[in-house]
Amino acid sequence: MTRAEGPNRRHAQSTIVLGYPCLNRTLRDQSNPLRCNRSMQQKTYESRGLPYVSELARQNFTDLYEILSWNLDHDIRFYRCTSELIPWNSQFELPELPGYEEIETIARRCGELIDDAGMRLTFHPDYWCKLASESSDTVDRATAAVEYHADWLDLMGLPRTPYYGINVHIGATYGDKDATAKRFCEAVEGLSPGARARLVVENDDKQDLWSVPELVSEVSDHAGVPVVFDYHHHSFTDRGYTYREAFKMAAKTWEGIRPAVHYSEPQRLRDPDVRPQAHAEYVERVPTWLKKGADVMIEAGQKERALLAAREGSKSERRRACRPESEAN
């Protein structure tokens, strides 16, 4: 599979790029909260229909622009957008929305801001999005989810490349990894060109599920899907590889596009009673080699606050390292 080149970055490839997912706590907690995940339950959708979807989508894209602007003001150039940007999109095509042209205009403003600033925006459909399921209904729903996420990226006018990735998990083995990998690759081939060009797959967080080396050999080598290395997840599925070794394996699947990776730290280090997969509210230190080799999505409970704290911590470390020995003592 041939992949499109990534966009021209306004900052050098050596620049460290950190990101955060979905919710901006600072903007949500202000007197006029900003968020782009307004949604509704099925009962509300059935009673209020597409006009209400349009209202929420318009508000979500309007707030997305403000969140992206805030990110840029704070030199944050990597952001994972919510999967509730346009609620219930599996039930309709975008042009069917009342006031579609206005929504498209706002979405294009978001895309222009992203492109002009050299920002990176990605999506991560919910964990139920299982393209390799044994259930055809589940595969159909998962395919629809990947497709409408791709439609949103098209709506914003962003290139069809894994740089603007749609991140999924295989998330199960169904008792036969070889057959599961084959079903996943078949589902990938059935996607539209715009969805297939943006699809990326991430290693799982349970020992018997999908590791980086398995995703590389069983999925990426066959379907051309880049592998997203999740640092924390690797502790559950290391298969004897170090963190650096697994990262290098995943990075090669990006074929010239700067990889995206996920970094989190286990909350269990601070609270032994929580499940081992749980993310901490903050991160202590993102490995330097990881920051130099990829754009790093920090998955922490405090979202952008965790990112800013991690970045400030790195600056403090560099300042200490640069102090003369006499001053340091």
Residue 226 CB coordination number (10 Å): 28
Taking the model in full, what pTM does it have? 0.91
Residues 120, 19: contact at Cβ < 8 Å? yes
262 belongs to a structural domain: yes
Low-confidence ranges of the chain (pLDDT < 50): 1-5, 8-13, 326-329
Residues 224, 252: contact at Cβ < 8 Å? no
5 belongs to a structural domain: no
Q: Give the pLDDT of residue 270.
A: 75
Angle, helices 100-117/136-155, rounded to nearest 10 degrees: 70
11 belongs to a structural domain: no
Residue 252, SS3 per DSSP: helix
CATH number of the domain enclosing 113: 3.20.20.150
106 belongs to a structural domain: yes
Q: Which domain holds residue 93?
A: 18-328
pLDDT digits (tens, 9 = 90+) for 169-180: 999 999 999 999
Number of domains in the chain: 1
pLDDT digits (tens, 9 = 90+) for 59-118: 999 999 999 999 999 999 999 999 999 999 999 999 999 999 999 999 999 999 999 999
Q: How far is CA 240 from CA 65, 130, 177, 219, 327, in A?
A: 43, 27, 19, 20, 43
Q: Give the pLDDT of residue 279.
A: 87
Given the DSSP bridges, would you call strands 78-81 and 166-168 parallel, antiparallel or unpaired?
unpaired
119 belongs to a structural domain: yes
Q: Give the pLDDT of residue 2.
A: 34
Q: What per-residue string of b and e applies to 237-266 under the rule 16 or more CB within 10 Å gives b?
A: bbeebebeebbbbbbebbeebebbbbbbbb
139 belongs to a structural domain: yes
Q: Give the pLDDT of residue 277.
A: 83
CB-based burial label for 150 (10 Å; 0-12, 13-18, 19+) = buried
Q: Give the pLDDT of residue 321.
A: 54
